[in-house]
Structure 1
Amino acid sequence: MASDPEGNRPLSEQELQDLVASSDAGARDPAGAVGVFLAIVAVTWSVFQVILASPISNVILPGSIVNNSRQIHLAFGLFLAFAAYPALKSSPRDRIPVQDWIMAVVAAAIAMYGYFFYDKVVNSGGLADETDMWFALVGLLLLFEAARRALGPAMAIIATIFLMYVFFGSSEWVPEVIRWKGASLKKAMSHMWITSEGVFGIALGVSTKFVFLFVLFGALLDKAGAGNYFIKMAFGALGHLRGGPAKAAVVGSAATGLISGSSIANVVTTGTFTIPLMKRVGFSSEQAGSVEVASSVNGQIMPPVMGAAAFLMVEYVGISYVEVITHAFLPAAISYIALVYIVHLEAVKRNMPTLGNRVVSMGKTIGGMAAFFVGFAALCYGVQYPVKAIVAMMPGASGLALSLLVVATYVVLLFVASKTDDLVPDDPNAKEVELPVVGEIYKAGLYYLLPIIVLVYFLMIEQKSPGLSAFWATSLLFVILLTQKPLKAMFRGQTNMIDTGMDGVRDLWQGLIDGARNMIGIALATATAGVIVGTVTLTGVGQVMADLVEFLSGGNLILMLVMVGLLSLVLGMGLPTTANYIVVSSLMAGVVVELGAQSGLIVPLIAVHLFVFYFGIMADVTPPVGLASFAAAAVSGGDAIRTGFIAFFYSLRTVALPFVFIFNTDLLLIDVTWTQGILVAISATIAILIFTAGTMGYWLTRSRFYESILLIFVAFALFRPDYFMNKLQPPFEDIAPTELVQALDTAPEGEELRIIVSGPDFDTGETVETTLLLSVGSEPTGQERADAFGLMLIEEDGIMKLDEPMFGTPVADDMDGFDFYADDPVQITEVKAPASQMPKELIFIPALLLLGLIAMMQRARIGKEEEMA
């Protein structure tokens, strides 16, 4: 798959495109009438999804279609999967065999079963009869086969194992710790196919409503030429620096990762240009591939798309989209900063040459890039003020006026672009490498930023739904694709307006096809992952996983998190980002919350979901299944396994960050003020750079072993100042459990008390404990505040016992694992109230002093080396 087994030769351009196609869009592309038919189906799917996301979808589409949009979405995905993906390596690529036609039609029809028999399904309350059961079973088998073709065997195998667990979970050969009572075929099929708990659940709904539009947006933006523009800008800004091609690869991959849902496509798209140039300045094949892998996979953690996981987090965590990307932004940003620094240290350590003949200072380059990003962010934010003014002046016609203003801005920027030559991809193997000059090329693609500004504006400022935001941005891309070539020709005084106009139509047509074909795998991944989610809800296996992890970790919190990370890594092997996140979050997120609470760690749910997501995407890097590593090795001609291991080493900060933000949620900008947020961003950036220097064994010069240890220690202090401050001053004061009501009575509104509850487990009878967080409300008395939480307090013999809380009260779900009717009581063993504490940021002072001492030691050593030289 990766390269020539005899010589590890790099694959040709055509072979690389086939690699991406076979993994992302389907390797089969028949010619003639069949090819045209498949193109029409793909375009129809894209157009349907655009209309579905539009603000007038309820007017254009019948209610039955809107209500069953998930079924239609999956029907398109299944049909195109059997048509576009061959069953075997030996299957024909230029035609579709009869059996694939049959499976495509049958699978699409069964996916639409809920649409065709909507009244029957609704009236039955989601309970399958004999007919429903057999249709559902055939549908599941065809879904698994389509997933095997489009996603590889891993997804289908994992889903099959979970489905077998549903049927045979009561068998004696199933370990007792995960045994359950089992389910009948009819009950299982009802749950998996007829209701919205399985295949047609939340994940497929998110794919239908949001993900398609963002994938289509990325495909159209790339078709318009934005991908090549971003890469050229990155090389123009960074290519002339030491290790410049690798730095440009990181930045270029970050830009394309913003709009790409596939790490493999990202690797091949940017890697075909960046990897040969990295090798040219001294990186080995494996190192060049590893840099591209690390930066491309990191694109999946970068908002706003995050490989579609951002939209799933909205549904699973229950917070707004803006909150999700706000929490995810800082770790992703500092992770990319660290990767640029890794590349820089590699280049300095090995004294790599520079490319080209331009000399530009790194300080000016970094300053210029920072100014661009700050300016772009300010532009996205500042747009709201003229928009508000226009809405105030003409409330009835503001929509039309703003649309005309955007189009006018586009025409002006396109006029500016027409004064420069169109950008064409460079040849990385050319004898003389001419790096682009940013000052000369930036005008050529400024109008590509308009759809991104529209998207960010609607998402962040207007806070519209992701689907509607992507609709307006995609609509603008329709206009751009259709008009950019003929308008440029007109501005340049050329006469081929009709020909260039037809080129625009062809670009739009191909973009719609690319968007649909890129969605096949995601649609099947979310549907198949629905089987895993359905298994969790039907069998309660999530609780079993918690018991298993707790047993293996012996209750040790750090070991438990390591085990959850490893399990997330294993479960994510061979899965695309979207399916990967669904699987690991369904199984592991609840484990971290529950076991964390038992250990006294209260973790916000978004932090837990980001934790398992970070480890899940690392499966794209890690051998032996790291798909992105294989793709990079195919480009570089290096060894895929070695590429994977080096990429994992470069990605150590992506492994370390989840542990940091689990314990220090400030990194996710949770409950911080603007000034705190800025301080956290600065300290976290410094910390990640120091951590990188420590793990790379090089800072100002080659580090000695103890210096590397000290650098990592300084990074830890900057990341976790609370750890040391809590040792100096305890963050909580203990209150007797019997005085809880009095403590609640005197506590100011908004203060958070922690209570540790101990009692017999409902399933095992063993004594367990959990930590509850009580945010004091506005009730006038302590007893009323306790009642508001649902705490049924009974004070006996100096012990504060608890009765079973009323259903629906705030603490009911957190305490549903206790047996309130056992001989031993459920009781409050500890009450902790916040204590006054010095600012934890004071720890930065000794940490930075230690950093200064290390710098003095290294500078002194550099001075001695220069004297000896």
Structure 2
Amino acid sequence: MAEQKDPETMNQAEIQKLISEYDRESSFREVSGAVRWFVTLFAIAFTLYQLSISTFLLVPDQIARAVHLAFGLGLIFLLFPFRKVTSRHSIPIWDWILALLGVGVGLYWLIEYEGLVQRVGDYTNTDFIIGGLTILLVMEAARRVVGWPIVIIAGTFLLYALYGKYLPGFFTYRGVTIERLISHMYYTTEGILGVPLGVSASFIFLFILFGAFLEKTGVGDYFNDLALAIAGKRIGGPAKVTVFSSALQGTISGSSVANVVQSGAFTIPLMKRLGYRSEFAAGVEASSSTGGQIMPPIMGAAAFLMAEFIGVPYWDIAKAAAIPAILFFAGIWMMVHFEARKTGLRGLTEEEMPNRKEVFKKIYLLLPIVVIIVASSVGVTPIRSALYGIVSTVFVGAFRKETRMSLKDILIAFENGAKAALGVVAATACAGIIVGVVTLTGLGLKFANGLLDLAGGLIIPTLILTMIASLILGMGVPTTANYIITSTIAAPAIIALGYPALSAHMFTFYFGIVADITPPVALAAFAASGIARSKPIRTGVESTRLSISAFIIPYIFVFAPEILLVDTTFGEATWMFVKAFIGMLGVSAGLIGFWLRRMPGWERIITVAAGLLLIVPGLLTDIIGLGTLALVLLVQYLQTRNKEAGINN
């Protein structure tokens, strides 16, 4: 770009500091010398192991998951300090010990596999000691990488399993012995070594590695350039660039906060320079980046977990999420457009734009994402799709010198992929504790019955209570663990009323995700606030307002599951999308207070109501909603035309 560097643009050190503050998964130690080499080789070995079990090495599920956990725990204790204020340039002796113990408890399954299989139900004291130690190490690793919320939830669940008999009402449970709890947690595939960690050890790791390869070839930066080339000159261009770029970043990103900081360091100062309020600029970035977690094909790795939990092909999940994701980003785009029209903000000038010809010359960099989508759509397994994506990334990178990957670049991608996967390893292992307690105690069903009793068995109150529960459970928890917790605890209430499992899981997933921008614990909004130097809570409120579509769309999942392509025809799904899109237009215009002109309060209320009627399924509501919006638009058009005619005369 011809534009000189904006003085508000953050340098790499500032970006990394902000990521470390709000995204614990990226807060690594910065070691050097022999220790640095050891950690690097350990991380590369982790990746090589994962590639081996995905291609030619056949091992039982328990061993594959346990060794995956061993690598994860070892690296976590070496790379993540006990506290933020602890020295980040050296590894204390106790962390070396914890790393060794983490590797040891994971390899215990590999060493004792035959014995553990033979003595099911008759475990030794050593087994119980190893199992108990594993629980503690997993929770400490999760605390360091993911944060306190998931550890507190897991600890509460463990206490419930042991002391549930002392609770009143429907939550009462007879309780289990400590030995029974430990064996269930580590020596079955329903606890720590359960489905969540299994998906991490198979699909998720490879897709994270795929993302690391994309970043190494510069695809992340290319997303910004492509967004600028397409949307930069439009009204409110920088904000629309943010929306478009974040949607693209979401196809490979597994973290709302990382997405905010990486793209926001460029887009937020640009928006502010062109006149956007600080809170609005930060809110656009936070809401768009959070929306990246619902964008197929990866959806913050939740797509693979959802496929396993519901028992449907991964591609069905990706297809189901496509229309809602488009509606979500369309809603933000519309609000950005109306805000820009309302305040008279311009797009970028030709001098501020990148060279479009050069940008579109590099469109081939998107080929690996196309490979993933096409492979998945024709029935290729997620593992094979990810492998094809990785190979195609190296292939397309070879077209130009600046994107060509040497052996060193590939090894760096191996290391970065392993490091990026540590948050998922810790989250899924700790979430496995939660799932294990649910399967052991039946807590999920108890919670569902409690919600239904509280809601009187009515669907609307049940959905509202489930929404609140999902928002609370999702606070401060990364995408993968977020989905596991909300789907395990809250989704059964919706399913119990006879609605499709996919609708229930997507409902809780969406509200768990928007917890990242919903005060009081709005990590993505706070990270964006740090870049924009805006007030954090106000930024969270602005992000929530901009993401209003994310609070509406989940209700469509339940009342009109055809939007998820569930038991529907192409025509029905198309009509549902079109009317929801028009409804989102009305809601966006009403909330901003501008369509063809500024809108008084009463007109805003009518417009929002009409938009919501279009989103609610039903012929009568469709007619009323469309008719009302058409009338509002006609009145505004006539008034605007008459005003312009008066000015010209």
How high is the TM-score relative to the length of structure 1?
Answer: 0.71
Name the residue aligned to 1:116.
111
Task: Report whether the alignment pairs 1:613 with 2:613.
Answer: no
Contact 1:10 1:634 in 2 (8 A): no
Name the residue aligned to 1:834.
none
Name the residue aligned to 2:130.
135
Name the residue aligned to 1:105.
100
Matched to 2:542, the amino acid is: I
Matched to 1:25, the amino acid is: S
SS in structure 1 of the partner of residue 380 of structure 2: coil
More strand by percentage: 1
* Larger Rg over CA atoms: 1
Contact 1:64 1:115 in 2 (8 A): no
Unaligned runs of 5+ in 1: 1-8, 359-432, 490-499, 726-842
Determine the C-alpha separation between the residues in 1 that align with 2:440 and 2:532: 46
**Residue of 456, 480, 496 corresponding to 1:554:** 456
Q: 1:94 to 1:216 in 2, by over 3 A?
A: same
Determine the C-alpha separation between the residues in 2 that align with 1:67 and 1:532: 18
Task: Report whether the alignment pairs 1:434 with 2:352.
Answer: yes
Name the residue aligned to 1:707.
603
Shift of 1:587: 0.5
Contact 1:683 1:718 in 2 (8 A): yes
Name the residue aligned to 2:4.
none
Contact 1:220 1:511 in 2 (8 A): yes
Task: Report whether the alignment pairs 1:471 with 2:472.
Answer: no
SS in structure 1 of the partner of residue 151 of structure 2: helix
Name the residue aligned to 1:353.
346
Q: 1:847 to 1:550 in 2, by over 3 A?
A: closer
Shift of 1:272: 0.8
SS in structure 1 of the partner of residue 598 of structure 2: coil
**Residue of 190, 212, 232 corresponding to 1:197:** 190
Number of residue pairs matched by the alignment: 638
Determine the C-alpha separation between the residues in 1 that align with 2:96 and 2:227: 45
Determine the C-alpha separation between the residues in 2 that align with 1:546 and 1:67: 30
Name the residue aligned to 2:36.
35
Shift of 1:51: 2.4
Shift of 1:464: 1.2
Task: Report whether the alignment pairs 1:24 with 2:25.
Answer: yes
Matches within 5 A, 1:537-686: 537-594=439-496, 597=497, 602-686=498-582
Matched to 1:854, the amino acid is: V
Contact 2:303 2:317 in 1 (8 A): yes
SS in structure 1 of the partner of residue 490 of structure 2: helix
Matches within 5 A, 1:71-82: 71-82=66-77
**Residue of 249, 264, 275 corresponding to 2:268:** 275
Determine the C-alpha separation between the residues in 1 that align with 2:359 and 2:393: 21
Determine the C-alpha separation between the residues in 2 that align with 1:545 and 1:289: 37
Name the residue aligned to 2:376.
459
More helix by percentage: 2
Determine the C-alpha separation between the residues in 2 that align with 1:555 and 1:563: 12
Q: 1:560 to 1:676 in 2, by over 3 A?
A: closer
Matched to 1:130, the amino acid is: N
Q: 1:718 to 1:215 in 2, by over 3 A?
A: same
Name the residue aligned to 1:509.
411
**Residue of 234, 239, 251 corresponding to 1:241:** 234
Matches within 5 A, 1:814-853: 844-853=622-631
Q: 1:127 to 1:707 in 2, by over 3 A?
A: farther
SS in structure 2 of the partner of residue 68 of structure 1: helix
CA offsets 1:755-805 (integer angstroms, 9 cap, x no match) = xxxxxxxxxxxxxxxxxxxxxxxxxxxxxxxxxxxxxxxxxxxxxxxxxxx
Determine the C-alpha separation between the residues in 2 that align with 1:603 and 1:537: 22
Q: 1:128 to 1:640 in 2, by over 3 A?
A: farther
Q: 1:656 to 1:136 in 2, by over 3 A?
A: same
**Residue of 67, 78, 97 corresponding to 1:83:** 78
Matched to 1:667, the amino acid is: I
Shift of 1:857: 1.8
Contact 2:53 2:59 in 1 (8 A): no
| Structure ranking higher on relative contact order (CA contacts 8 Å, 6+ apart) | 2
Matches within 5 A, 1:680-699: 680-699=576-595
CA offsets 1:527-555 (integer angstroms, 9 cap, x no match) = 10000001111111112212322333233
Task: Report whether the alignment pairs 1:153 with 2:114.
Answer: no
Determine the C-alpha separation between the residues in 2 that align with 1:529 and 1:184: 21
Determine the C-alpha separation between the residues in 2 that align with 1:126 and 1:868: 88
Shift of 1:707: 2.5
CA-based RMSD of the aligned residues comes to 2.0
How high is the TM-score relative to the length of structure 2?
Answer: 0.94
Contact 1:240 1:355 in 2 (8 A): yes
Determine the C-alpha separation between the residues in 2 that align with 1:186 and 1:318: 31
SS in structure 2 of the partner of residue 514 of structure 1: helix
Matched to 1:93, the amino acid is: R
Determine the C-alpha separation between the residues in 2 that align with 1:867 and 1:447: 49
Matches within 5 A, 1:259-298: 259-298=252-291
Determine the C-alpha separation between the residues in 2 that align with 1:25 and 1:863: 54
Q: 1:126 to 1:236 in 2, by over 3 A?
A: farther
CA offsets 1:292-344 (integer angstroms, 9 cap, x no match) = 00000000001100111110111111111121111111011111111111111
